[in-house]
Structures are given as structure tokens and as C-alpha cells.
A = this chain, B = another copy of it.
């Protein structure tokens, strides 16, 4: 199916969507970047039919518009594009927090286009268009977060779009999304950063002795701080709840340092759960 895809924001995710879409014949791709030098860099890469810093030139006539900017910048951008959209255009986003974002964007775009929130569970500690890749989404979950105002055809079209770029699509309500992603993404990020800062405070010389396990567990702490600050603080209630549950469980495991049998049970249970995770590319 030939579609006009407008990607707003030329970061890791936006540029990877462009590269992934180009694997499918007949897609026409337009990318908007705010900064002129990024527009030049993207034009030099020849990865889209249109690259511009003018929103109207990018979104006019688009079948699908994907907001790939930080969540705090999304409402303004949605307001700016609303008047230029076809009423049957599908607008979606890649924000890591959904309840507040979906409420705002749904309301801003009502009557101007069809909106469905989405969150592809893909990414990297690296950022910017230079780190993008065509296979970033292959086999990764994309969570769609319809609300009570979402039309069924919009959900179908959003599903088709994310499957086209390589994702496996699952659906949650915005609130369920935020609780679940607090556990499997936001809390892990906070733990990685906290572990690094704990080591730095206790004994900075310890960094020189790390092995591959420490690299793995701290990898996400290499992600962009401003973006993660916005995500963690926007989803603060769910993040706080999951962090408090984690502290409680840590207190429990500390008591098991004196009791080998239950410690072994605790670790055995964790391993069994971890072994059942759907593999992602880095595991194979």
C-alpha cells in the first residue's frame, strides 16, 4: 500500500521509522526538523523524499503523521499542524508516557485528524539520526493506547503502520501503559542511573574493575538525560510506586544474605521468569 508518511522529529526513532519505511516499496517519506543544519544533514543522507523545516510542506497531504519529538513538545506541534491535516490523516506519536500525552493530543486534534497514541519499545542509549537503523523496530513490541474516543479504523491503520516498520503490536489503555512501562522501562532506567551514582559515591575506583554484566545493567543510563527527566517526572506516580516496591524487595533480599535456601529460591524464581522473556535482538 502506497502511503505518504510525515515524520516530525529527526532523532533516533524518527529517522529509524524513515529507514524502516523505505524497505517497503511505494512509501513516500517526508521529515520535519526544526534546525536548518539537521535538515541539511538529512538531505545529504537521501533517506526521504522531502526534508524541510517547514511543517506545512511536510504534513500537507500526509496519510500518516508521526510525532517523534520529546513529549513536552508534542502539544505545541500538534496545534501547529492541525490546520494543515486531511481529516482522514492518522496522527500518532512515540512518547514513552501515554495518559497525559494521549489526553492532550486527542483533544487538540479532535475534528482535524484521527489520533492514536503509540509507544514502540525500541531505542538505544545512543541518540540522533546518525544512530538510526532500518531494523530498529524488527520484532519489538509497539504498544498502541486507544482511549474511548479512538475510532476502530484509526486503530487498524495504526496497527498496519507499526507492523509495516517491523513491530509486533499490542494494545493497552493509556493508564495501563503508564503502570506497565514504569515497571519495565522507567524503573530500570532509574535503577541503572542510581547504580552508577551509588558506585561513584561508595568507591569510584570500582569502575575500573567492571565486567560485561555491569556494562549490560547500566547501558540504559547512557540515554539522553533531558528526555529521561521529562519521562520520569511526567510518569512520577507510577515510577514512585514501582521504585518503592523495588526498595521493599531489596530489603527482603538483604535479609536473605544470611539464609542460603530462601536466597537460592529467590534467585531461581528470578531466573525462571527472566528465561521466559521474549528474546530481543541483543539476546540472540
Contact = CB atoms under 8 A, between A and B. Distances in A.
Contacts of A268: 225
Given A188-B195, A202-B245, A263-B232, A208 B250 contact: no
Given A141-B209, A183-B206, A282-B212, A232 B219 contact: no
Nearest to A141: B209
A123 interface: yes
Interface string A213-257: 111111111111110111011001001111111110111011001
A267 interface: yes
A247 B202 CA distance: 13
Q: For chain A, which range describes its interface: under 10, 10 to 19, 20 to 34, or 35 or more residues?
A: 35 or more
Given A183-B203, A201-B249, A212-B281, A254 B258 contact: no
A136 to B, nearest CB: 10
Contact of A197 (B196, B247, B270, B278): B270
Nearest to A226: B264
Interface in A77-103: none
Given A122-B211, A211-B280, A199 B184 contact: yes
A274 B217 contact: no
Main secondary structure of the interface of A (DSSP, over half): helix
A273 interface: yes
Contacts of A211: 121-123, 140-141, 184-185, 280
A217 B199 contact: no
Number of copies: 2
A135 to B, nearest CB: 12
A253 B258 contact: no
Interface string A189-207: 1111111111111110111
A184 B214 contact: yes
Contacts of A263: 229, 232-233
Contact of A239 (B200, B218, B257): B257
A37 interface: no
A45 interface: no
Given A188-B195, A269-B200, A140 B221 contact: no
Given A191-B195, A208-B278, A257-B240, A216 B226 contact: no
Interface of A: 121-124, 140-141, 143, 170, 172, 179-181, 183-185, 187-203, 205-226, 228-230, 232-233, 236, 239-247, 249-251, 253-254, 257-258, 260, 263-264, 266-271, 273-283
Given A179-B206, A184-B209, A230-B260, 10 more contacts: A140-B212, A170-B208, A183-B202, A201-B245, A207-B276, A215-B280, A217-B220, A247-B247, A247-B250, A247-B251
